[in-house]
């Protein structure tokens, strides 16, 4: 005989569906930044024609009880309410919904009155509902008294029915009744989570540099030299200074210049070959300085509005103390030797990967999490994580949650150039920002499709892209052969398409184009040797980078990823706009994707997306070239010479009438 499951309550009739924000049915949290107004919306579905009512339940990281707000109808069966995320950490949200007995009574009785029907029995039923609501008011005696008086008034048969009904449905009575609904048969959704991060999680500009190349030519740079470089980085408008690994570097199997398999005595090795007798992941390379120097750099940078980020690479050189103290943490070959890293045909003899599935995995995982915590204790809060896609997803979900519990202002950038599904999975499990395929997206179709995908829910609720035109590992073919115009084009695209972007400098602002052996790798790469850079070169892009970063800071429209693409005739001109949530800031960007020829196009403007009326005259200010033009209508002509500037960033100003009865553009 088949067992029959207990029936649900016959009175629990409202179903909560399509709750948002929601990631994989609540398996993972959505992401916001502090100060955001978090809109929670859902469909409230009920059989028949009864009215429904709902309440948003929400609680902050330190709340022991739920706070609540009534849901308001958005459209049809869609309801919502919002709260301000005023504290870093994990917030909980849920929805409670029920049949709105008062609202159902009010609507039904109104229809009967409108039809001229007798509603005496309906008024008596309403009195019962109001008295029941009064009993639920608890200590709110003012509301209880108002509800009881309205209930009594419904029974005054010497007063016309319409007047009694009007008194019982006045705004004050309706408000009191809605605040104290009958929740005996309410439906409550499962709790959803929202992680609230610092503002820099959504809007940031990263500058990567090798600290060992920050010193005078011929000398190994130090963290103190990095402090001297801070004004240069700040002058370009960057707010994150990212340093590759700063730890001692192993000697065994040290790589030589240009990734040569053997090294000379003067070769400095790869910073990603972490660990030597001087220490491992919790030590500073002696030639870079000391922990005190690092703490001083963090303080000086923060005073300049810059956060220092360091690279966390979970791998070890053969000389790392972990290898001698915990050989069980590494994968062994059949002959008992430790397996070095491989990505056939490439071999990395100077690096041992950790075995995250070893028998001692719990001790290994705890130690690796403690590395993040150690650097947080030194004042760091921003981390670029090397190759996280080669470590278990379960590890990251646990590890990052542990760190965020102790330091909710921590930010993690996932350096994962891998399958899109795996990149998305890492973001769901706690990475704050993510590298992307932008580096290899160049055509109008590629850029439009890719950015539309990233800016659309549900991905936009948890995946924050960080666009990089170059990295120490990647000198794209376009930068090798596109000339100055291509560097500027990629800068503008990265900085305006995405609210988070970064460059690897000084090779970017000095427009280094030489690759090794027809590859996408830099020749004479800083990964394997010291480099001296002439930062005062007259052809440097530093001033243009400063201008672009200043534009980003000045215009909130560029500080998140809501985006609208505008059709253009031809594939050479890409046009898109962004508009701030309050509508006050609107920016339209037009980019010539042909770095070698002047191109022109007519843009079909989506005026609704820009907040501009169909016949309205408005001004566009190209803040790159400092040129102002008046436009009107849905068609705009642009002509862009990449030899001058390969892009235009138009700030949109609408006409405003003043009290003195003349117009200007705001």
Active site residue 663: no
d(CA 43, CA 22): 13
How crowded is the C-beta side of 3, counted as CA atoms within 13 Å? 2
d(CA 23, CA 430): 12
How crowded is the C-beta side of 606, counted as CA atoms within 13 Å? 16
CA dihedral of residues 620, 634, 448, 484 (deg, nearest 10): -40
Angle between helices 120-135 and 101-114 (to 10 degrees): 160
d(CA 372, CA 382): 10
**Residues with Cβ < 8 Å from 218, sequence gap 6 or more?**
530, 532
d(CA 559, CA 579): 10
Written as one string, the DSSP assignment of 77-94 is: TEEEEEEE--SSEEEEEE
**Residues with Cβ < 8 Å from 243, sequence gap 6 or more?**
208, 209, 210, 211, 226, 308, 309, 310, 311
Tokens of 610: 């820009």
415, 509, 526, 622: the active-site residue: 415
- Other residues' Cβ atoms within 10 Å of the Cβ of residue 496: 26
Q: At 546, give phi and psi (nearest 5°).
A: -60, -40
319, 386, 560, 622: the active-site residue: 386
How crowded is the C-beta side of 29, counted as CA atoms within 13 Å? 21
Angle ∠(38,39,44) on CA atoms, nearest 5: 145
Active site residue 386: yes
Number of helices and strands (H, E) in the chain? 16, 31
**Per-residue DSSP letter, 259:** G
Three-state SS at 204: strand
Tokens of 514: 């030489």
What are the start-end ranges of the H helices in 92-208?
101-114, 120-135, 141-154, 161-168, 171-179
Whether the Cβ atoms of residue 210 and residue 225 lie closer than 8 Å to each other: no
Burial of 167 (0-12, 13-18, 19+ CB in 10 A): middle
- Other residues' Cβ atoms within 10 Å of the Cβ of residue 550: 13
Q: What is the 3-state secondary structure (H, E, C) of 534-589?
A: CCCCCCCCHHHHHHHHHHHHHCHHHHCCCCEEECECCCCEEEEEEECCCCCCEEEE
d(CA 195, CA 179): 29
Angle ∠(33,396,323) on CA atoms, nearest 5: 135
The residues carrying an active-site annotation are 386, 415
């Amino acid at each position: 005989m088949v067992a029959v499951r207990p029936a649900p309550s016959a009175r629990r009739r409202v179903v909560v569906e399509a709750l948002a924000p929601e990631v994989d049915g609540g398996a993972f949290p959505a992401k916001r930044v502090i100060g955001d107004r978090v809109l929670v919306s859902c469909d409230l579905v009920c059989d028949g024609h009864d009215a429904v009512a709902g309440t948003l339940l929400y609680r902050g990281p330190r709340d022991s009880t739920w706070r609540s707000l009534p849901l308001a109808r958005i459209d049809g069966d869609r309801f919502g309410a919002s709260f301000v995320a005023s504290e870093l950490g994990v917030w909980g949200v849920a929805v409670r919904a029920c049949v709105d007995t008062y609202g159902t009574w009010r609507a039904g009785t109104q229809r009967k009155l409108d039809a001229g029907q007798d509603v005496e029995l309906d008024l008596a039923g309403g009195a019962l509902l109001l008295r029941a609501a009064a009993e639920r008011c608890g200590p709110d005696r003012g509301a209880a008294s108002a509800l009881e008086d309205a209930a009594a008034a419904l029974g005054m048969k010497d007063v016309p029915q319409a007047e009694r009904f009007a008194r019982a449905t006045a705004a004050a009575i309706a408000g009191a009744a809605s605040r104290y609904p009958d929740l005996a048969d309410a439906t409550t959704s499962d709790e959803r989570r929202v992680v609230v991060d610092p503002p820099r999680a959504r809007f940031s500009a990263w500058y990567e540099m090798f600290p060992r190349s920050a010193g005078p030519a011929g000398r190994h740079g130090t963290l103190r030299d990095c402090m001297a470089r801070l004004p240069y980085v700040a002058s370009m408008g960057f707010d994150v200074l990212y340093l590759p690994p700063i730890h001692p570097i192993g000697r065994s199997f040290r790589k030589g210049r240009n990734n040569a398999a053997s090294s000379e005595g003067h070769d400095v090795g790869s910073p990603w070959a972490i660990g030597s007798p001087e220490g491992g992941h919790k030590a500073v390379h002696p030639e870079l300085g000391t922990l005190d120097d690092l703490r001083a750099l963090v303080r000086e940078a923060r005073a300049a509005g810059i956060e220092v980020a360091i690279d966390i690479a979970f791998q070890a050189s053969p000389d790392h103390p972990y290898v001698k103290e915990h050989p069980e943490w590494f994968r062994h070959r059949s002959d008992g030797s430790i397996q070095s890293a491989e990505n056939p045909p490439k071999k990395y003899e100077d690096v041992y990967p950790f075995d995250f599935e070893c028998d001692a995995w719990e001790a290994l995982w705890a130690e690796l999490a403690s590395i993040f915590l150690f650097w947080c204790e030194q004042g760091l809060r921003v981390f670029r994580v090397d190759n996280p896609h080669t470590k278990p997803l379960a590890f990251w979900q646990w590890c990052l949650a542990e760190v965020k519990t102790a330091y909710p202002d921590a930010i993690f950038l996932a350096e994962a150039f891998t399958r899109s599904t795996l990149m998305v999975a890492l973001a769901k499990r706690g990475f704050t920002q993510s590298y992307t395929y932008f580096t290899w997206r160049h055509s109008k179709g590629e850029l439009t499709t890719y950015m539309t995908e990233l800016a659309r829910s549900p991905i936009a609720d948890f995946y924050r892209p960080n666009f990089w035109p170059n990295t120490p590992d990647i000198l794209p073919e376009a930068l090798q052969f596109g000339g100055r115009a291509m560097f500027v084009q990629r800068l503008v695209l990265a900085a305006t398409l995405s609210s988070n972007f970064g460059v690897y400098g000084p090779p970017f602002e000095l427009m280094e184009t030489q690759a090794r052996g027809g590859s996408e790798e830099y020749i004479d790469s800083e990964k394997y040797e010291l480099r001296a850079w002439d930062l005062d070169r007259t052809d440097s892009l530093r001033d243009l980078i400063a201008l672009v970063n200043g534009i980003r800071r000045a215009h909130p429209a560029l500080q998140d990823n809501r985006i609208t693409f505008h059709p253009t005739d031809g594939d050479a001109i890409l046009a898109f706009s962004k508009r701030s949530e309050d509508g006050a800031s609107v920016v339209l960007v037009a980019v010539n994707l042909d770095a070698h020829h002047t191109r022109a196009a007519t843009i079909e403007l989506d005026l609704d997306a820009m907040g501009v009326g169909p016949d309205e005259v408005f001004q566009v200010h190209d803040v790159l070239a400092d040129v102002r033009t008046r436009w009107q209508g849905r068609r705009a002509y642009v002509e862009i010479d990449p030899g001058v500037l390969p892009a235009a960033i138009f700030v949109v100003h609408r006409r405003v009438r003043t009290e003195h009865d003349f117009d200007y553009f705001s």
